[in-house]
Amino acid sequence: MSKPRDPQTLARMCADAMLAEDKAASGLGIEVIDVGPGRSRTAMTVTESMVNGHNICHGGFIFLLADTAFAYACNTYGQREVAQHCAVTFVAPGKLGMRLTADCTERQRSGRSGIYDVSVSDETGNVIAEFRGHSRTLPDKLIPEA
């Protein structure tokens, strides 16, 4: 398996390599809907085990959804990347049964550092949370080159 020249194919291969070892995302029902170079989309439905007594989703699960989108977006260049620093702003409550979508785009990439923005929205497109993640490139490859 060699590193492909086409960025979209490489992004897809990286996502597949990550999905194969990712029990956490699947355990929470997080789906990776789309990936491309420096971007991704994930989705999750708010379940009973994610809410408090008022049926409001714990912010930590919204973070997890956004953080997963961030991880799949920055790990699309064949090199392994990790999160260094993340910030999240909670704009509106997530509620039981809501289908949440996290869209991640690349803000900036320079040397071994990257900045990625994620918007989490409900089915009607209302923003639930805004997330910014800072990545750092590790020496190890996610996709071995030929």
User: Residues in the site for a second copy, rule: CB under 8 A?
Assistant: 18, 20-25, 27, 48-54, 58-61, 63-64, 67-68, 82-92, 107-108, 110, 113, 115, 117, 119, 127, 130, 132, 134
Which pair of tokens denotes residue 86? 């993340």
Quote the CA–CA distance of 105 and 30 in Å, as a whole number: 18
Nearer to a second copy by C-beta: 37 or 59? Answer: 59
Which pair of tokens denotes residue 99? 């289908």
Quote the CA–CA distance of 143 and 14 in Å, as a whole number: 6
Nearer to a second copy by C-beta: 10 or 118? Answer: 118
Minimum Å gap between C-beta 2 and a second copy is 21
Match 């790990």 to its residue by tokens.
75
Minimum Å gap between C-beta 113 and a second copy is 7
Quote the CA–CA distance of 44 and 5 in Å, as a whole number: 32
Nearer to a second copy by C-beta: 3 or 132? Answer: 132
